[in-house]
Amino acid sequence: MKINHLKTFLIAALLMGCASSGSKVTLTVQNPGTTDRENQMAEVSWSEVAEKLGATADKSLVVMDGEGTRLPWQIVTNDTNSEVIIFPVSLKAGEAKKFRIMEGESTEFEPLVYGRLVPERKDDFAWENNRTAFRVYGPALKATGEISNGMDFWAKRTESLIIDKWYRNDLAGTASYHKDHGEGLDFYKVGRTLGLGMTAPVDHDTLCLGDNFITVEIIDNGPLRLSFRLTYEPYPVGESTVTETRIISLDAYSLFNKVTNIFEAETRELKLATSIVMDKSKTSATFNDSDGIIAYETPGTEADGTIYTAAIHPAGFESVMVLGGHYAGLNKYQPGKRYTYYTGAGWSKAGFNRFEDWTQFVKTEKEKIDHPLKIEIQ
């Protein structure tokens, strides 16, 4: 398996002072929505910034807000041929603020995202930010006979990055990550399902699931965004054979992953189902609307709490139904195209007391997607 660590650019947050007296770029960032944005990533074309600065990717840069506070930043590719520079901004509804990018001495900023292959745990790939954590399952686990194509969710209530610690303690037998020791736990059940919001083709009302991933490649590696690519062995969908690629990215501060699926098949059209596994043994709540949201309350216990899940498709779902033990949003799809949506989860012990609180939060996330930050370069 190949994991490429792209060069990232790290600077310290909350440091005051002046950068070099060289050229600078001034940006106006506006929140066009009706709800406040807190630590949302602003994205600016790196080529436009570099042209105005006369800078190259090897230059040290400083990003500052209007009060002179240095902000963390990162240059990312988003699995495309173009690069963007990202940095976090907080804006009230309708508010606009100015930011500056200039050449200056950079210092290291503590990463807020992290992910890695975990060969010591049968090739899991696990990733997290300062609010949430996830994993998917690799080939070594499949070799044991355990097949899973879904995404797992780790409920956590700490801003610390815990993946390495939880795996280390669990494998050593000192603290199982299936029990809450104060930071959270893994009690989301995936098995042979799509788990949290993964997507699969549908053939005659049957979900067609692939197996565990076969390769993983990290594309963008923090400190603010982690993105990676997963590939899967071909699998049958009706009379066709499908080859699947998933590109997943997670920003600091966010509870939602951005997921892009690409399905290759020798057919003109597929039907896709973005799906959340359901617990048939317990009564639960669901939510959907015409705006492209599906949400599900995963029943828990008094000790562990309740997990709330959701998927958001920017263009909406053509239909929503219960399908093969999943709560699913369905769309038609042309093979070879990029199918992009968002999926994430919350926890009753980390800020969401009721399912209604979660669905309101998801609606706010949808507004952020529908009304991205507006950025003007001066």
What is the per-residue pLDDT across 258-280, written as a single tens digit (0 to 9) for each? 999 999 999 999 999 999 999 98
pLDDT score of 59:
67
Residue 56 predicted with pLDDT over 80: no
pTM: 0.92
Could you tell me if 25 and 100 are in contact, meaning their C-beta atoms sit under 8 angstroms apart? yes
- Find the CATH number of the domain harbouring 79: 2.60.40.1180
pLDDT band for position 19 (cuts 50, 70, 90): very low
CA distance 225 to 4: 15
Same domain, 61 and 137: no
Residue 12 predicted with pLDDT over 50: no
Q: Quick one: which of 345, 3, 363 has its CA closest to 150?
A: 345
Same domain, 291 and 364: yes
The arithmetic mean of pLDDT across residues 336-363, rounded, is 97
pLDDT score of 9:
38
Residue 360 predicted with pLDDT over 80: yes
Residue 8 lies in a domain: no
pLDDT score of 205:
92
CB atoms closer than 10 angstroms to residue 72: 23
Same domain, 209 and 135: yes
Alpha carbon distances (Å) from 297 to 192, 262, 274, 282, 373 = 20, 28, 16, 10, 30
Helix spans in the chain (H): 46-53, 139-143, 163-172, 355-370
Could you tell me if 264 and 338 are in contact, meaning their C-beta atoms sit under 8 angstroms apart? no
pLDDT over 70 percentage in the chain:
93
Residue 21 predicted with pLDDT over 50: no
Residue 151 lies in a domain: yes
Same domain, 223 and 361: yes
pLDDT score of 16:
34
pLDDT band for position 189 (cuts 50, 70, 90): very high
Residue 289 lies in a domain: yes
Instruction: Tell me how many domains the chain contains.
Output: 2
Note down the domain range covering 196: 113-370
Residue 278 lies in a domain: yes
CA distance 57 to 85: 11
Residue 59 lies in a domain: yes
pLDDT score of 20:
42
- Find the CATH number of the domain harbouring 159: 2.70.98
Pair type for strands 113-118 and 70-71? unpaired
Tokens 């239909």, residue located: 319
Q: Over the stretch 130-166, which tens digit does the pLDDT of each residue have?
A: 999 999 999 999 999 999 999 999 999 999 999 999 9
pLDDT score of 57:
55
CA distance 19 to 142: 52
Largest separation between any pair of C-alpha atoms in the chain: 65
Which residues lie below 8 Å from residue 356, measured CB to CB, with a gap of 6+?
Answer: none
Q: Over the stretch 208-241, which tens digit does the pLDDT of each residue have?
A: 999 999 999 999 999 999 999 999 999 999 999 9
Residue 9 lies in a domain: no
pLDDT score of 5:
41
Alpha carbon distances (Å) from 267 to 165, 238, 264, 270, 307 = 45, 10, 9, 7, 37
Residue 6 predicted with pLDDT over 60: no
pLDDT score of 171:
97
pLDDT band for position 339 (cuts 50, 70, 90): very high
CA distance 260 to 252: 18
